[in-house]
Structure 1
Amino acid sequence: MTIPAHRIAFGEHLRDLRQDRGWSSQEAFAHHVGIDRTYISGLERGRRNPTLDVIVKLAQSLDVKPAELLATIE
């Protein structure tokens, strides 16, 4: 399966934001967000396609606007 470039960009940006905010562990961040760690991993690797509800939940947990999570997608 070929992973679309926009999902890879989203995942890399999500990982960068998570780490920039001090969440070095996917597991701790996932617990904070209320999402399974394997789902966070899938998002960061571009394997998962998040719903709008998940994007909003991630943005709130990272203290950014949802549009910030999509900012790197062309």
Structure 2
Amino acid sequence: IDHRIIRKKIHVRVEQSRCAEEFNLRKKKKNDELKDAAKVRGETISTKRQPKGPKLRIHGRRYDLGDCHTH
């Protein structure tokens, strides 16, 4: 092992990692700004992440169904 470099793995628990803190702080700040803007307009908004809507593919082209629901 004298002159060789040995690769080592480092196992870090996600709960103890600080890399997500900046993302969470940025997300919280953005959500607070959205809530304040909605409060001024007199509305209530949901800051939860929503799944993307359904996609429709016809002959290789992609179309977005958007908000059209036919129930």
Highest relative contact order (Cα 8 Å, sep 6+), 1 or 2?
Answer: 1
TM-based fold match above 0.5 = no
Q: TM-score, normalised by structure 1?
A: 0.31
Flag the structure with higher helix content: 1
Q: TM-score, normalised by structure 2?
A: 0.33
Flag the structure with higher strand content: 2
